[in-house]
Amino acid sequence: MTRPLEGITVVSIEQAVAAPFATRQLADLGARVIKVERPGGGDFARRYDESVHGQASYFVWLNRSKESLTLDLKAEAGRRVLDELLATADVFVQNLAPGAAARMGLDAAALAERNGSLIVCDVSGFGSGGSWETRKAYDLLVQCQTGLVSLTGTAAEMAKVGISIADISAGMYAYSGVLSALYLRATTGQARAVEVSLFDSLAEWMGQPAYYTRYGGTQPPRVGASHATIAPYGPYTAADGRAVLLAVQNEREWVALCGEFLGDPGLAEDARFRTGSARVAHRAELDAVIAARFAELDADRVGELLDACGIANAGLNSVAEFLEHPALVERDRWRDVAIPGATVQALVPPANLAGVAPRMDPVPDVGEHSAAILAGLGRDAAEIDRLRADGVI
């Protein structure tokens, strides 16, 4: 069984979330990913927390199936090692601080002169050009700058998204960008550089509220766990105190909800609720009608009745409940993955390629593969020992 990216070598000077997420997905598909880390502590994401048997939850999630090479890139010997790796690599990914790659001669133009077949992927905060080019960007800063935080939370208070959504979106676009560049190189022989920013990535995901605001005259309101521009679409509390979320997506479902769940077919033609926009405009009145019906039933009965009339619904799971979700357990979506000193369970990647098992190898300890990689470059044991003694690795 051959994985799609077997034979592809990726060298990455990466940290935190965005670039590691991109390269881990390349590793899932079989690429060899050499992660270059600082001697000593390595990627600072290793120390975000200690919740996974002493390892950081972020790092465990983002770095399986990689080889860790520690290098002091300010040392001449360390830079020589990196240059040797890049001379034969297929892909180079970096998310260093703004301007750092160019100062080190690791920008796309400089690298193209040395290896014309190398695909360079730069992940930055705000992209190249413009007055924001040199600004640092962390996930929450980008959530704020794109307006996402202004959409999230309740009417009384804004809130961040509960995951690193700007980093994740950038990692996804870096991953797909590299795949596109590999395809282009395979079909045309040309290696094209890829540039991705956290801001541009999350800006794309802000497309719907951007159109709604620009052409509707006002931005979507903050409505907690309810949908801002579709109603009814949100959680309601049943008689036993448990919440059930229901979602009406079209007029057929709206008619079914009124007649079969609410017991009032005429409500579907009420002028206040006849269209989607009208239901949003009269959300408070509509919520009162639905809440009154929920108050008559326990959560299990609510779910049964909504299922019977074809209305999508779900309980509001905690993370612990999600971990035991039947859609994961019954479909065998968990695999054992080794981490330094322990074994954890990891989710199978979401893109299922028929007949191809994703690579799910161990999460490396910092510098775990330095000696082996250097030996592969022709260094003998004595030289490797000298590099270690000098703090180069």
Shared domain check, 170 and 125: yes
The DSSP code sequence of 252-267 is HHHHHIIIIISS-GGG
Beta bridge partners of 345: 336
Q: 153 in a domain, yes or no?
A: yes
Q: Over the stretch 342-361, which tens digit does the pLDDT of each residue have?
A: 999 999 999 999 999 999 99
| Close Cβ partners of 2 (under 8 Å, ≥ 6 residues apart) | 30, 356
Shared domain check, 184 and 73: yes
Beta bridge partners of 315: 244
Q: Which one, of 82, 87, 61, 60, lies nearest residue 70 by Cα?
A: 82
Q: Last residue of a domain, which of 261, 283, 315?
A: 315
Shared domain check, 294 and 173: no
CATH code at 14?
A: 3.40.50.10540
Shared domain check, 110 and 26: yes
Average the pLDDT over 253-263 and give the result. 95
Quote the domain boundaries for residue 302: 233-315
Please report, for the chain, how many H helices and E strands are present, in that order: 18, 11
Q: Over the stretch 132-190, which tens digit does the pLDDT of each residue have?
A: 999 989 999 999 999 999 999 999 999 999 999 999 999 999 999 999 999 999 999 99
Q: Over the stretch 12-58, which tens digit does the pLDDT of each residue have?
A: 999 999 999 999 999 999 999 999 999 999 999 999 999 999 999 99
Shared domain check, 355 and 273: no
Q: Last residue of a domain, which of 281, 315, 349?
A: 315
Shared domain check, 167 and 89: yes
Shared domain check, 176 and 77: yes
Q: Over the stretch 355-393, which tens digit does the pLDDT of each residue have?
A: 999 999 999 999 999 999 999 999 999 999 999 999 999
| Close Cβ partners of 144 (under 8 Å, ≥ 6 residues apart) | none
The residue type at 99: G
Q: 138 in a domain, yes or no?
A: yes
Above pLDDT 90, what percent of the chain? 99
Q: 2 in a domain, yes or no?
A: no
Shared domain check, 121 and 18: yes
Total domain count for the chain? 2
Q: What does the alpha-carbon distance between residue 274 and residue 375 come to, in Å, rounded to a whole number?
A: 72
> What order of strands is seen across the sheet that includes strand 312-315?
233-237, 243-247, 312-315
Q: 222 in a domain, yes or no?
A: no
DSSP secondary structure code for residue 268 in this structure: G
- Strand, coil or helix: 285: helix
Q: How confident is the model at residue 240 (pLDDT cuts 50, 70, 90)?
A: very high
For 35, 98, 221, 235, 244, the CA distances from 226, given in Å and listed in that order, are: 41, 38, 10, 7, 12
- Strand, coil or helix: 196: strand
Q: Over the stretch 202-230, which tens digit does the pLDDT of each residue have?
A: 999 999 999 999 999 999 999 999 999 99
Shared domain check, 262 and 166: no
Average the pLDDT over 336-341 and give the result. 96
Shared domain check, 147 and 33: yes
Average the pLDDT over 285-294 and give the result. 96
DSSP H or E segment with residue 34? strand 32-37
What average pLDDT does the structure give for the chain?
96
Q: 192 in a domain, yes or no?
A: yes
What per-residue confidence (pLDDT) applies to 1? Answer: 74
Shared domain check, 138 and 167: yes
Residue 74 has pLDDT above 90, yes or no: yes
What per-residue confidence (pLDDT) applies to 310? Answer: 94
Shared domain check, 120 and 241: no
Place of tokens 């000098």: 390
Q: How confident is the model at residue 8 (pLDDT cuts 50, 70, 90)?
A: very high
CATH code at 254?
A: 3.30.1540.10
Tokens of 218: 């006002």
What per-residue confidence (pLDDT) applies to 377? Answer: 95
Q: 324 in a domain, yes or no?
A: no
Q: Last residue of a domain, which of 256, 289, 315?
A: 315
Q: 224 in a domain, yes or no?
A: no
Q: How confident is the model at residue 277 (pLDDT cuts 50, 70, 90)?
A: very high
Q: 217 in a domain, yes or no?
A: no
